[in-house]
Amino acid sequence: MNHSNLLDTDYKINRLEELQDTIGAMISQPKFPCVGAKSALARDNLKTIVAHRLDSNWDDLMIHRELLAWAREYRACTEGFRSLAVIFDDPKNLSEAEFEKLMWERIQSMADKDAWLGQSYDERVSANPDDPHFSLSFGGEAFFVIGLHPNASRPARRFSQPALIFNLHDQFERLREEGRYEKMRDTILDRDRKLAGDINPMLAKHGESSEARQYSGRMVDDDWQCPFQDRRST
């Protein structure tokens, strides 16, 4: 390895550690509403990876590989909340609509790779983004996404960098089966109301509307159309 490669490796390690500390500090704030994220952080189940740009496909293969590995690891050990945080260096000055557009471009690219590799779609969820039971699927495991960026209108979605937090759908289904999901959801809504001053109108109850409407954090109208189509849904 030459000197320039060593410097690049050192930079990446330092940058990763810096962003791990930054997102950890955000989640650790007493007023931060998502108790699931707090649990993942406390159990060291929040994995962070760093990508270059949200408006580029440069790191999509790497991110997809991480999602496949995350799905395998979850099936091997399902204890506790687990989240995979993909933090992008740029661009930082995006409007909510611009962030939403780029977020779906990255998701579409990774879903296309999942289909191309012959990965099955998690049969417990729908691949149709208009379906109330829609969820993404990578490596045969359902995921939903929480988008963060500097210009988010909801304080809980505001972060110094654009980021996509991938959460496993199954862990919330397990909570629902155990009768603990509604209590956790009510706690998050109440904490979010105290932080923002009002309840997030995009957080519909499970089965009432597609979760795709919630991914970017932007408030969308009733006629909003999700700019995503998984080839396995046709």
Domain count within the chain: 1
Contacting residues for 21 by C-beta, under 8 A, at least 6 apart: none
Task: Evaluate whether 228 touches 211 at the Cβ level (below 8 Å).
Answer: no
Rounded to the nearest 10 degrees, the angle between the axes of helix 96-116 and helix 60-76 is 70
Whether omega for the bond prior to residue 91 falls within 30 degrees of 0, making it cis, is yes
Strand, helix or coil for residue 205: coil
Amino acid 4: pLDDT: 44
Contacting residues for 110 by C-beta, under 8 A, at least 6 apart: 60, 63, 64, 67, 138
Answer yes or no: pTM beyond 0.85: yes
Local mean pLDDT, 10-residue blocks, the chain (234 residues): 54 85 91 83 90 96 96 79 93 97 98 96 96 96 96 95 94 79 81 83 67 94 93 82
As a whole number of Å, the CA-based R_g of the chain is 17
Tell me how far apart the alpha carbons of residues 15 and 57 are, in angstroms, rounded to a whole number.
20
Range of the domain at 58: 3-233
Tell me how far apart the alpha carbons of residues 92 and 54 are, in angstroms, rounded to a whole number.
9
- DSSP structure string for 28-85: HSTT---HHHHHHHHTT-EEEEEEEETT--TTHHHHHHHHHHHHHHHHH---S--EEE
